[in-house]
Amino acid sequence: MTATHHFDILIIGSGVAGLTLALQLADHAQVAVLSKEQLEEGASLYAQGGISVVLDQADSLQSHVDDTLLTGAGLCNEQVVRFTVEHARESIEWLIDQGVSFTKDGVTSETYHLTQEGGHSHRRIIHSADATGREVETTLLGKAQAHPNIHLFPYHIGIDLITSQKQFGDKDNQCLGCYVLDIKADTPLTFTAPITIMATGGAGKVYLYTSNPDVSTGDGIAMGWRAGCDVANMEFVQFHPTCLYHPKAKSFLISEALRGEGAKLLLADGCQFMDRFHPQVELAPRDIVARAIDHEMKRLGDDCVYLDISHQSKDFIEQHFPTIHRRCLDFGIDMTSEPIPVVPAAHYTCGGLMTDIHGRTNIAGLYAIGETAYTGLHGANRMASNSILECLVFAHSAAQHISQQLPLSSKGSTIPAWDASRVKPAKEVIAVSHNWDELRRFMWDYVGIVRSDERLHKAQNRLKLLQQEISDYYRQYRITSDLLELRNLADIAELIINSALQRKESRGLHYTLDYPNTNNDKPAIDTIITGKS
């Protein structure tokens, strides 16, 4: 018999999106926030560059909108883009009110320092040195820990959403909560709530090389899809052009802000190459820079390229990029005097659970925000530093919509407990670790930066065999966090592959050798996969 917890609001994910929503609602509701690792662990913590917002008088909201639409390669929802940009400043002011400290132009200045990144036509990236995500995440977490109505559950991973359709056969599907594994106690729990929010981040760990932390296994997207949520544009996976290339450097991002401050991409012989690929050279959109690096590495057979900012002074580098500078020194690289070896790596999931402007999915009572959601903001390619902005704006919008429904009622008391009576402990876990490794390798080889129908079909065939093994294992043995993540990653891989096969063109982050051109003869459309339930 599993324990049951009931709350007004259940938030799965403790990153910037989840914590922002929790803080917005906690004065009027009992809120549970689940994290499958320690509370601060997640992609938000490692975000370096900053948050895009129009603060400079030389800039404009329209310019931010135009840059986002251009980067999104014809698939952005202009209404959503405008909504996000127009609410950016108030979101930043809210963060400042919470105690977030952003970098100023000088010691005595009251003006915030703004940097420029790929795709932006102005300096509009507000930041906290080169550790913006850490500053925002830890500040919001401190506020959440101090709030009496926010209940934090670290080391709790979602198993599956609880829906009225599955439990009671209701025609109109409604989310009633989530079955959850308490990892420390190795015990399944039942969390019920009239409102559940998916804020679990992206799915970069479906690839062998990624800038994402280990927790980025697409749990929210996979659980939502299995419950019946429609999913859009999963073929658009952003590969960050510059991750540190070193055998001992795991998932360490070299911020785009370096290129915003004049860093140049070089080949091993010291020659620049971006001028052959785009007029904006190093500040071209990320998909173009990543493909250019991938092309040069394959052309020359090199393991990496190099990013050089040594033309800037030592003081400038140490002041603006202290985290990156220290991390590079840990691996014997002095970025003040030598270039940094870099490679592209999976970075951001532009697709996700389809939502409206309030974060609502097509299942009543279920919302999605942040990287888990597809709002239409990013289209076919996310513009740099629009990600944390999306977390903030849509958390605020969802909070306003949910607040109008308070007080809430629920069917929580009638939910049956998780049934583990027909499974047994696994004798060994080698199958899970082997399948995890195989999945990530063939996704990197066949569904990476450059694709083809032949590669995608090879990946699809491999995945079918893998999913059967995972399904058999899931039915026979007790669940573990590793098994749940593997199951979710397999679902994510299926969504990415099937979405990529449907798109018969190259657009934004999706580049295929079979259809190398963008189809501009008709309006661009989203790739939608209906919910599995």
Q: Measured between alpha carbons, how far is 383 from 38 in angstroms, rounded to an integer?
A: 29
Is residue 453 within 8 Å of residue 514, measured between CB atoms?
yes
User: Hey, how many other C-beta atoms are within 10 angstroms of the C-beta on 83?
Assistant: 18
Cα 282 off chain centre by = 23
Q: Is 441 a catalytic residue?
A: no
Pairing label, strands 31-34, 9-12 = parallel
Q: What is the DSSP string of 265-306?
A: EE-TTS-B-GGGT-TTGGGS-HHHHHHHHHHHHHHHT-S-EE
Catalytic residue among 226, 259, 286, 382: 286
**Token digits of residue 35:** 């994290």
Q: Measured between alpha carbons, how far is 5 from 179 in angstroms, rounded to an integer?
A: 10
**Token digits of residue 380:** 């076919």
Which runs of E-coded beta strand occur in 3-113? 4-6, 9-12, 31-34, 51-52
**Token digits of residue 432:** 């899970």
Instruction: Identify any residues that bridge with 126 across adjacent strands, giving them in sequence order.
Output: 51, 114
Q: Measured between alpha carbons, how far is 428 from 323 in angstroms, rounded to an integer?
A: 40
Which one, of 229, 161, 221, 220, lies nearest residue 191 by Cα? 161
Residues 6 or more apart from 335 whose CB is under 8 A from it? 309, 310, 317, 321, 324, 325, 328
Is residue 18 within 8 Å of residue 205, measured between CB atoms?
no
Catalytic residues: 286
